[in-house]
Amino acid sequence: MGNSCGHNNTMSIPPGKGPHQVGCSDLMVGHTVHGTFLRLYYPCQASENPQLPEWVPCREYFNGLADFMKMNRALSERIFNYLFGSCKIPAAWNASFKPDGKYPVIIFSHGLGAFRTLYSAICVELASQGFIVAAITYVDESSSATFYFREHTEPATKKHPSCDIAKPVSDNLEEVWMYYRPLKTGESEFPLRNKQVKQRADECIRALDILFDINSGKSVENVLQCDFDLSTMENSMDLCRIAIMGHSFGGATVIECLCKEVKFKCGVALDTWMFPLDEEIFPGVKQPIFFINSEKFQWIGNIIRMKKLDSAIFPRKMITIKGTVHQSFPDFTFLTGNWIGRLMKLKGEIDPHIALDLSNKATLAFLQRCLSEDFNQWDPLIDGKDDNLIPGTNITIPQSSV
């Protein structure tokens, strides 16, 4: 299953390496700002010439990225469209689900200024290895762009949906776009981020409740027009094996979720930004956590906060991938050349395929330990045993801080 970008056919999001073909579909439950919007990645039945979804579904997402990066919308839309406009996700759009026993479940949480499609390399790989993955887009104004619907009363004023793949079932609904909210002048950041991380955790738990409903055979109404039959996923999930995973602000969301919901059996936190969290919740986190960090992003204060989650009872693991930057985890790292990638800090010194492969294999090995999966061939990576890994952190912590 291949994909390409218009400006350079050699740059693409890598397909999954596992034994399963991967499908994906969008699900919105509840059309208002209080609804749940996620992308499902799942093992699917093989098909010839599958439709591959666009990586960035429509221009509003480019506008949101421009706002987040403090760039001019008109100029950046042209740049982004040139660089990424024809990029595809290596997953079959609305492909038939592949029943094969019970699959474990992962909820994936994006970082600040991202949205549901930007970590597709990770999500596709996990689905190819036999997981059902739900990547959430939040309506807490931490996404660069997302949308919900409102009912309209005057038919003549209805806007045509921006995204062909996100048309509502009802003719009575029109899109409302929500963009990233920057800090106001003089505004303290912690209250906003702390409120957002709590809302994010609530949205993850709501998404999990929806998966429970689908698994039990309850009728779940998708607000979006969709050819994927959710009822085919009935009794297909092992809901005793659920993990929460995320990057940066999504890593903080992982920890908040573990504190709030014991159904999450473990967490994988990629280059976590610890700032949004109340340290008071740390003693309430009883599940195993795996911190996978980049070499260039972390700093003493952030690592110290991670170390405060150390426990003699509950497993806490940490590794650092050499030559990586904070953006080595989202898909951008595969879709930019070396010059632009280094300039915009989307690429580190290490080959991005090697870096993400190490991260994914270490993740799978950790999930094997926590969820009884069969990926123990990569067990040494959990302890940083590889030439491109550092056990623990590359940051020197002053003894007085420990």
Q: What is the mean pLDDT of residues 16-45?
A: 96
pLDDT at 161: 58
* Per-residue pLDDT band at 6 (split at 50, 70, 90): very low
Longest CA span, the chain: 67
| CB-based contact 142:196 (threshold 8 Å) | yes
pTM of the model: 0.93
Report which of residues 199 and 398 the model is more confident about: 199
pLDDT digits (tens, 9 = 90+) for 235-275: 999 999 999 999 999 999 999 999 999 999 999 999 999 99
Q: Angle CA(108)–CA(109)–CA(110) in degrees, nearest 5? A: 120
pLDDT at 14: 96
* Residues designated catalytic: 248, 271, 326
Which residue from 260, 257, 228, 198 is spatially nearest to 50, judged by alpha carbons? 228
Q: How far is residue 53's CA from residue 304's CA, in Å, rounded to a whole number?
A: 41
pLDDT at 79: 85
Q: How far is residue 258's CA from residue 315's CA, in Å, rounded to a whole number?
A: 13
- Quick one: 165 exposed, middle or buried, by C-beta within 10 A (0-12, 13-18, 19+)? middle
The yes-or-no verdict on residue 155 having pLDDT over 60 is no
* Per-residue pLDDT band at 341 (split at 50, 70, 90): low
pLDDT digits (tens, 9 = 90+) for 79-125: 888 888 889 999 999 999 999 999 999 999 999 999 999 999 999 99
Q: Which positions ≥6 away from 236 have C-beta within 8 Å?
A: 97, 99, 102, 103, 132, 215
The yes-or-no verdict on residue 336 having pLDDT over 90 is no
Sheet of strand 132-137: strand arrangement? 92-93, 21-29, 36-44, 132-137, 103-109, 237-247, 266-270, 289-294, 316-321, 389-391
**What token pair was written down for 203?**
């949205």
* Per-residue pLDDT band at 7 (split at 50, 70, 90): very low
pLDDT at 377: 84
* Per-residue pLDDT band at 3 (split at 50, 70, 90): very low
The yes-or-no verdict on residue 278 having pLDDT over 90 is yes
**Least confident residue range of 95-104, 158-167, 299-308, 314-323:** 158-167
Q: How many CB atoms lie within 10 A of CB 353?
A: 12
Percent of the chain clearing pLDDT 90 (strictly above): 75
Which residue from 128, 122, 109, 118 is spatially nearest to 42, judged by alpha carbons? 128
pLDDT at 9: 42
Q: What is the mean pLDDT of residues 278-307?
A: 96
Q: What is the mean pLDDT of the chain?
A: 91
pLDDT at 374: 67
Q: How far is residue 148's CA from residue 32's CA, in Å, rounded to a whole number?
A: 6
**What token pair was written down for 169?**
């079932």
Q: What is the mean pLDDT of residues 17-41?
A: 96
Q: How far is residue 147's CA from residue 167's CA, in Å, rounded to a whole number?
A: 11
| CB-based contact 41:25 (threshold 8 Å) | no
pLDDT at 160: 53
**Least confident residue range of 68-72, 181-185, 310-314, 339-343:** 339-343
* Per-residue pLDDT band at 203 (split at 50, 70, 90): very high
